[in-house]
Amino acid sequence: MVLVLMGALAYGGGKDEKRFTARAGATMWEYEEWALDNPSWSGNEYDLVATVTFTHANTGSTHTTEMFYDGSNTWKFRFTGTRTGQWTFTTASQDPELNGYQGSVTVMPNPDPKIKGFLTHVGNKYAIQTGDNAEFGGYLFNVYMNQQEFAMQYHQDKPGPIQDIDRVDDYFDAAAENGFEIVFYFLTHHVFKLGAIQQHEHGSVNPDLRTFRHLDYIIRYSHRRGGRVHFWCWGDAARRQTPKRLPGGINGYVDRRLQRYIAARLGPLPGWSMGYGYDLHEWANNDQLNAWAKYMHDHLGWQHLLSARGRKLKGPYNIISYSGFGRKNEITTTNHGPKNYQEVLEDLKADTSQPHLYEERHTYLRDGFDLGMDGSRRLLWRLAMAGGMGGFFGYYSQWFNKWGPYKGKYPNPEQFRTHKTFWRERFLLDMQRANQLCLSGGCVLKDSKSQHYVIYQEDTQSIQVDLPRMAGGQSAVAVDTRKEYQEIALGRLQPKQQRIKLPNKSDWVIAIGKFE
């Protein structure tokens, strides 16, 4: 059963007064939409520029977005509240039909606790808006891809979940079953013609409205379920999945038209991030990638995290991305993925100003890395315990897997669900590594007030810790990461050196302190 998501209805005053009726009761982190008719425009509808600036009455903070064409001589614009209270807005355009409109919208708190705001970062940690007044919580960014049931990169027997939105809830269900809440989508030339994967499959130079209506649904559906979407915009040059041969080429006038449309239509929607694509070393240089990211950020209105696999984009709201396995691999000596915990640690410490993502697809049983069930589970925990490195997991397609034949699925998805459940509300933005506190060789994260600790150690039946500066006695629980989530009460630990005995030998995690 697909959840039907109704967009906000558009309404406004007469053309002469150019004032929209005031809206009350908008919900934080859910978008509102307005529409204007413009039958007199005779040029390319996607090149007409009209901006809308929203201003928060109490703080003066602003969001500036663009209108987007939605067919039938109609231009629309969207807004999502990032603070409660009243926002006013004005429109501006050289086209008189879209210029000079005014209005207001009042934003109320979101009553659904699982709905969060826009994803951003604080230093090299991912952060998500959790409340009014720029309140943020820590976030673990792990992407799930399922190319077996929901193939998107290559032609297959049945449509992928971009073409067939009836499959979107199934895709998200599969992610949740495996303990993930970020699902991966591959756009490529769908953005110009729904169903087109390669350049030669369409002759369009304008965004396809059918595709973007599907993307509206995909993003909103995932967000309302408490999840997110990570897109790759482009793909492999040999498979003609790039913008290189569009008129004007990379960042040319057709590509910019598309970028501006993505920013105008999807920018106000929380719940998504975007990577430029894969195998970028074959067809895009650093200048082109940074120019793309800058142009997108200049037009988005609401910031979304951007990445370019294997590259370090410059500036805030950009992800430092890695590809390959190990620091030296068959592709390049500068792109790499995690070889072990120490390498993850070194990568995160190398730049503390931006978030990091291993954007290589660490798919189940992929050759070149220990990606069986144990290896995949341990990788998830090591990424978190290093300080919040992002990861990319899932399955390759049975239609395409040059690393071997069809390999099946994760045999113990409950282990990933345990990881997700454990970290709910426990990954704090002020947590720092303190591995020296684990005398038995595990990993430690602690908060700045020494009230909250997370201790993780593999293949052990006891963990020895030294917590002399812990803020008084604190309650503690242990969780066996190889099983369905279950907390084992350890009582109240005191600020001293101690050995914690555990029921059996396994990979254990301990949470100390009251996490809220």
What average pLDDT score do residues 275-285 get? Answer: 94
Distance in Å from the first CA to the final CA of the chain: 34
d(CA 379, CA 477): 22
Q: What was the pLDDT predicted at 2?
A: 33
* pLDDT tens digits, one per residue of 105-143: 999 999 998 899 999 999 999 999 998 767 899 999 999
Residue 151 has pLDDT above 80, yes or no: yes
- Do 336 and 325 meet the contact criterion of CB atoms below 8 Å apart? yes
Distance of CA 450 to the CA centre of its chain: 30
Binned at pLDDT 50, 70 and 90, residue 330 comes out as: very low
Q: What was the pLDDT predicted at 334?
A: 40
Nearest to 326 by CA among 303, 342, 302: 342
- Do 228 and 119 meet the contact criterion of CB atoms below 8 Å apart? yes
- Do 117 and 29 meet the contact criterion of CB atoms below 8 Å apart? yes
Neighbour-count burial of 277, counting CB atoms closer than 10 A to its CB (0-12 exposed, 13-18 middle, 19+ buried): buried
Q: What percent of the chain has pLDDT over 90?
A: 83
Looking at 105-119, 242-256, 399-413, which range is the least confident one?
399-413
What average pLDDT score do residues 427-437 get? Answer: 97
Q: What was the pLDDT predicted at 78?
A: 98
Residue 329 has pLDDT above 50, yes or no: no
* pLDDT tens digits, one per residue of 343-388: 999 999 999 999 999 999 898 988 666 789 999 999 999 999 999 9
- Beta strands 453-466 and 497-512 are antiparallel
Binned at pLDDT 50, 70 and 90, residue 16 comes out as: low
Binned at pLDDT 50, 70 and 90, residue 24 comes out as: very high
Residue 5 has pLDDT above 70, yes or no: no
- Domain 23-108 shares a fold with domain 140-398: no
* pLDDT tens digits, one per residue of 67-81: 999 999 999 999 999
Q: What was the pLDDT predicted at 131?
A: 84
Question: Which residues is 446 bridged to in the sheet?
Answer: 432, 453
The residue ranking higher by pLDDT, 153 or 372, is: 372
Domain boundaries, the chain: 23-108, 140-398, 432-512
Indicate the average pLDDT of the chain.
91
23-108, which class in CATH?
mainly beta
432-512, which class in CATH?
mainly beta
Number of H helices, E strands in the chain: 7, 26
Q: What was the pLDDT predicted at 368?
A: 61
What average pLDDT score do residues 194-202 get? Answer: 94
* pLDDT tens digits, one per residue of 498-509: 999 999 999 999
* pLDDT tens digits, one per residue of 460-479: 999 999 999 999 999 999 99
140-398, which class in CATH?
alpha beta
Helix 373-385 and helix 413-423: axis angle, to 10°?
10
Looking at 18-22, 335-339, 357-361, which range is the least confident one?
335-339
Q: What was the pLDDT predicted at 11?
A: 43
Coil, strand, or helix at residue 321? Answer: strand
Q: What was the pLDDT predicted at 477?
A: 98
Residue 12 has pLDDT above 70, yes or no: no
